[in-house]
């Protein structure tokens, strides 16, 4: 499987003999690589005899589909035996996810679960990426079940490395909130406070899956971390919140919080109004620090100035 390594230029590609019944040896630039026989026999002669360029590899992975039980078992054996720890092998498996069906993909990721090590950050990051590449509900559930076992610092770094979309897919599993709800409030706020792209967690996770008490705790924590946010994060939160909330944000101009976040959001509001944005039908009466700490007025109560709900 290491045949997918990035070799430049791959000018000495030749076939070698079978080493065992289950392994096949391939020479790439005079370096030996071993791979399951089932993979080796699936390579077309054209691919084996030509340069192993990225283009050739792509042609291979898009035309081959894993169907043999033996091949499937070998993938599992490699995973269990630690044969897929380097980046080249991981790239190979990620490529396979593009063309194997969801059941096969889920089966492979289940094998990764047996190998899961909370202290192995590099492997964990790759695992995140697999879940994202697979785009399969059961696959992401596997890592969600292991989420709570990882030290927070490693978990934060892993989320940043895997990306907001991958993290979002994992956090959407309700089982995670049940197991780790208290920690998750602080965890999500820390992510968002440092990387604006993770505001997607609010859009697709917080407001869809959690309870009102959870949102209240989130608001309180967000209020604490708000001063640490940069302007980009604040602006992103503002833009993401508008289409989500079914009520008007009310900023009380008599008692504005003079923090950077408040000023940034107000400036964003003023800019939209100056540009004649269609989204300027937002009225500001009462505002906390960021769009989580506020009193809100529902649309069906819009006619009354005195009817409010606490957000």
pTM above 0.85, yes or no: no
Both tokens of 217, joined, read 């705790």
Number of domains in the chain: 1
In a domain, 164, yes or no: no
Both tokens of 269, joined, read 């509001």
User: How many CB atoms lie under 10 A from the CB of residue 307?
Assistant: 11
Residue keyed to tokens 């094998």: 111
Both tokens of 118, joined, read 């909370």
In a domain, 101, yes or no: no
In a domain, 292, yes or no: yes
Band of pLDDT at residue 27, cut at 50, 70 and 90 = very low
In a domain, 262, yes or no: yes
In a domain, 250, yes or no: yes
For the cut 70, the answer to whether the pLDDT of residue 28 exceeds it is no
In a domain, 307, yes or no: yes
- Residue 268 domain boundaries: 244-311
Q: Residues 88-132: pLDDT tens digits? A: 445 555 555 444 444 445 555 555 555 555 556 666 666 666 666
DSSP string, 182-229: HHHHHHHHHHHHH-GGGGHHIIIIIHHHS-HHHHHHHHHHHHHHGGG-
Band of pLDDT at residue 303, cut at 50, 70 and 90 = very low
Q: Residues 192-224: pLDDT tens digits? A: 777 767 766 765 565 555 556 665 665 565 555
Average pLDDT across the chain, whole number? 51
In a domain, 234, yes or no: no
Question: Average pLDDT for residues 151-170, to the nearest whole number?
Answer: 78
In a domain, 193, yes or no: no
């Amino acid at each position: 499987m290491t045949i997918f390594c990035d070799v430049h230029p791959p000018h000495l590609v030749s076939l070698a003999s079978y080493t065992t019944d289950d392994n096949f040896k391939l020479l790439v630039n005079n370096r030996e690589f071993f791979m399951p026989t089932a993979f080796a026999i699936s390579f077309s002669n054209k691919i084996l005899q030509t340069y192993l360029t990225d283009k050739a590899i792509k042609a291979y992975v898009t035309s081959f589909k894993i169907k043999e039980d033996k091949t499937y078992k070998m993938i599992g054996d490699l995973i269990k035996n630690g044969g897929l720890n380097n980046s080249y092998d991981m790239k190979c498996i990620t490529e396979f996810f593009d063309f194997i069906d969801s059941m096969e993909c889920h089966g492979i990721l289940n094998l990764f679960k047996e190998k899961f090590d909370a202290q192995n950050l590099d492997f964990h990051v790759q695992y995140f990426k697999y879940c994202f590449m697979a785009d399969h509900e059961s696959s992401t559930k596997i890592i969600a079940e292991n989420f709570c076992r990882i030290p927070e610092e490693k978990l934060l770094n892993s989320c940043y490395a895997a990306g907001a979309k991958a993290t979002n897919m994992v956090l959407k599993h309700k089982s995670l909130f049940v197991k780790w709800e208290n920690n998750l409030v602080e965890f999500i706020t820390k992510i968002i406070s440092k990387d604006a792209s993770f505001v997607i967690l609010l859009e697709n996770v917080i407001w869809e899956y959690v309870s009102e008490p959870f949102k209240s705790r989130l608001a309180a924590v967000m209020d604490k971390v708000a001063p640490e946010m940069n302007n980009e994060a604040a602006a992103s939160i503002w833009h993401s919140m508008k289409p989500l909330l079914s009520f008007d944000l009310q900023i009380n101009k008599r008692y504005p919080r003079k923090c950077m976040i408040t000023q940034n959001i107000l400036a964003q509001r003023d800019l939209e109004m100056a540009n004649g944005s269609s989204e300027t039908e937002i009225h500001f009466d009462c505002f906390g620090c960021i769009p989580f700490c506020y009193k809100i007025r529902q649309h069906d109560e819009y006619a009354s100035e005195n009817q409010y709900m606490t957000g």
